[in-house]
Amino acid sequence: MSTTPGEEAAQSQASPYAQPYAQNLPIPAQQYYPPMQPANGQSMAYHQVQPHSAGLAVVASFFIPGLGSMLNEKVGKGIGILAAYVVAVILIFFLIGFLATPAVWIWGMVAANNDAHKWNRAHGILS
């Protein structure tokens, strides 16, 4: 395979590591590495996020089971915990609720703590 003098100059200026990799891709490299500029002249917006407080979530779930998970943006899970707590309280009349109520209450606090830590890790926040 022969190259023209212009191609040789272009290959010598390019990184020796980028060329073989880019040539072996099944689709063009631009699809793997899109440009950093947004399309249609839009500006790039960076959002700063605040960490979720595991302590606040646990205290909230201490008073209202499931509320800590709801504060950590796990609304469905929080509603499920709250519904399970209500059912467990009703089951106190059938004696099984004496075991189920504390179990669901503790589950709500543990879930709130875990949800806060998972959310923080997912957003690159050390907690």
DSSP letter assigned to residue 58:
H
Distance CA(116)–CA(122), nearest Å, equals 10
Q: Break the chain into its structural domains and give their ranges.
A: 54-122
pLDDT in tens, 13-30: 555 555 555 555 555 555
Task: Enter the pTM of the model.
Answer: 0.63
pLDDT in tens, 41-81: 666 666 778 899 999 999 999 999 999 999 999 999 999 99
Helices (H), ranges, 1-127:
5-13, 18-23, 29-32, 54-63, 67-71, 75-90, 97-122
